[in-house]
Structures are given as structure tokens and as C-alpha cells.
Amino acid sequence: MSIRDLLKAHGKPPREVYFDLENSGLVPPEVVDAMLPYFNRIGYGHPSITHKVGWEAYEILYETKELVSKTIGASSPEEIVITHSGTEANNLAIMGFALANRTKKGKIIVSAIEHLSVIFPAETASELFGFEVLRIPVDTEGFIDPEIFQAYIDKDTSLVSIQMVNHEIGTIQNIKELAEIAKDTNPNVIFHTDAADAYGRIKFRVDDLGVDLLTISSHKIHGPRGVGILYVREGVKLSPILRGQLSVEKLWPGVENIPLIAGFKKAVELAFTNFDANVSKMMILRDMLLRGILDNVPDVLVNGPIGEKRAPDNINVSFLYVEGEAITIEFSLRGIYVSSGSACTSRILEPSHVLLAIGRKHEEAHGSILFKVSRYHNREDIAYALSQIPEAIDRLRKISSLKPRKI
């Protein structure tokens, strides 16, 4: 029986709660409404072309750059590069730097828990151009020890890429401190941070952080999939990694997807309206869900930190003695939608590299479940989830071949 047939046979659950916001999520009506005119009424032309509909397209593109620039404290909208995803923005940051500096080479430093769209390009830069790539270890909560970081940085360090918030375990890294350490040792080092899981949940200014490159992803803030941002500080040299006809974005050729950019602009406006209240709500719901799981389900490990050092929307736990894939199916039958392990590896059943890096055993990583709350959730959603999770885990453990070891 296929999963689709299983869901149909099980019947519609009394409530549906979507927590799989790491992979993607709902696009609110306001965002959809903002996109629609750009398909066939205004701005459907190429933004590089000098006619009315081209000007309209360019206007919404530039307004989006202006808005993003203001939210992160960039010096100019010209420092904002629009790509088609956060993955593409990360690739442009790493490979664009490597291409521009391939004759100088040097070291690229990343953490052991970076998104694979940072780790893989760094490895490619090593293979193609001879950069030395070093992965900094993290502690059991995903934090980089500043003293260990200092030991990795030297005059040969060219590029550092460290996430502001880890996409799986929600660790909020002290980017300001790490950037200061790097630049004190080597003022010429370029510092990149993947802020896709921070933007819209944590306030920051690029000058305060001391970063030169910064990544944002539209779908992480309830925007449409298909838009990414790379902040490039003025004076930082990157080379395009795609070649084609020049467009508005000289670092990312191709026709910009204006309807999606218009939707992203609206998503940014919504994310920064009542910002503090929205973040406070997420933290309350996060803690309510986490505490409810820990109080009602035995043998659960929390992956990542607890409290203020954790992203306001992130909960990642390992349910021992049961497989994550079985949990996602069981939860889905009950109308609770989550992801298991890494969003990048869940379909090939490999344990998350992030969880292994913080010291989890393979079987612990395989039982991990990632929940993400948002301003669109409410207490009733959390209460429903908590009414189902203990029963679901208990049922799975009774039929699981994974059992506690006898001592």
C-alpha cells in the first residue's frame, strides 16, 4: 500500500498542523495577492528592457532590494543580489569567491554543521582550484568554541562561512564575535554567514555583525519558493558562476522572476510588521511544544540548546527506539506534518551530518524530528499536537525492533 493510499484509508484527521517549515510552508494570501498582477497585468516584461512593462518590472525589483537593504542595514540596495534560492546564494558566495580568487587560493573555513549548500561548494572549490577546506568542530549544542576557532584562523585564511542560525538544531551562533576574531587575525578575510534561518526571526545589522556576505531565503519567511538574496558588501570581489546574457543582476544572469520577487517583498513586509510580538509568540509556542513533549514522552533527547540561544521557531528532538521515517508517517496520519533528520537527506535515509557533528549516535540521529513553529500557529495547534504525539510514539515503540539495551 502506498503512503497516499494509507492516508486515504486512514481518513481525514480532526485537525491538521504543519510544522515542516524548514522544507517549505504556506504562502499567505497577502503574498499571493502581491504576486498575481505581475503575471499578466503589470511588470510582466524583462526588467532590463526600456519600455513600460520593463520599467514596472524593474521598479518592483529595485523596491525589493531597497526594502531588504533597510532590514539588514546594508549601505545601498546595490549590495543586494537576487538569486532564485538560498542554495544558489550560498553557491554564489562560496564559488563566486573561489573563482575571483583562484590564483591566490588559501583556506576556506566552514563549520561541521553548515548547510550542504555551503559544504559542497567549499569542497568543489578545493577540488577545482586547490583551496584548503577546514571544518571546525562544534560542541554538543552546536556552538563553535572561540578559542578553537582562533586556532583555525591564520594569514592564509581567505574565506570563512559560518551559519547565523543552524537550520536543523536552531543554534544561534555568535557571528559578531567570530567575525571579530577572524578579522583581527587577518583583516583581508572575507566572512560569509548563511542567515536564511535567522532573517525574520532575529534582528541583525550587517555592520554590527562584521560580515561581508550574507544569505537570505524567501521561503523561510513564508515567501514563495524561487527567490534568494546574497548581500555583497561593496568592494568584495565575486565572479559570476553562471554565464549568460547580462540582466539586472550582473552576478546572477537570467531573467529575474518578477512575480516571485513581488511576493518576497510582501513577505518581508509582513515578517517585519509586529516583529517583536511575532517572535515572542513563536518562543511561547516553541517552549509550550517542547515542554509538553518532554513532560509526556519518555526517552527523548533535545538536539541543540534550550532557551535564548536557540532560534525562536526551532524544536529538534530525538525519540529513542523508533525510526524517524516511521514517526513522520504516523504523525501524518494524525494530521501533524514534520520532517525527520535533515531536510537535505531525509529521502535517502542517511543520518543528519549536523546531528552526528554534535555527538549523536546514528540511531539517535535517525529518530530525530524537526518541528518549526510560526506566527501562523496558535495554542490550539500545539495542544492538538501534544494530544497525539505521546500516543503515536508509544504505538510505534510497541512495534519497533529498536529496544533499550539491557544493562
Cα separation, 156 vs 4, in Å, equals 53
Residue 66: its H or E element? helix 52-72
Q: Based on the number of CB atoms within 10 Å of its own CB, is 351 exposed (0-12), middle (13-18) or buried (19 or more)?
A: buried
Catalytic residue at 343?
Answer: no
Q: How many CB atoms lie within 10 A of CB 162?
A: 25
- 3-state SS assignment for residue 65: helix
Label the pairing between strands 336-337 and 314-319: unpaired
Could you identify the residue written with the cell 554538543? 140
Of 92, 109, 344, 393, which one is the catalytic site residue? 344
- Please tell me what DSSP assigns to residue 48: T
For residue 69, the SS3 value is helix
- Identify the three-state secondary structure at position 11: coil
The 8-class DSSP code of residue 127 comes to: H
DSSP 137-182: ---TTSPPPHHHHHHH--TTEEEEE--SB-TTT-BB--HHHHHHHH
Place of cell 558588501: 233
d(CA 406, CA 34): 59
Residues noted as catalytic: 344
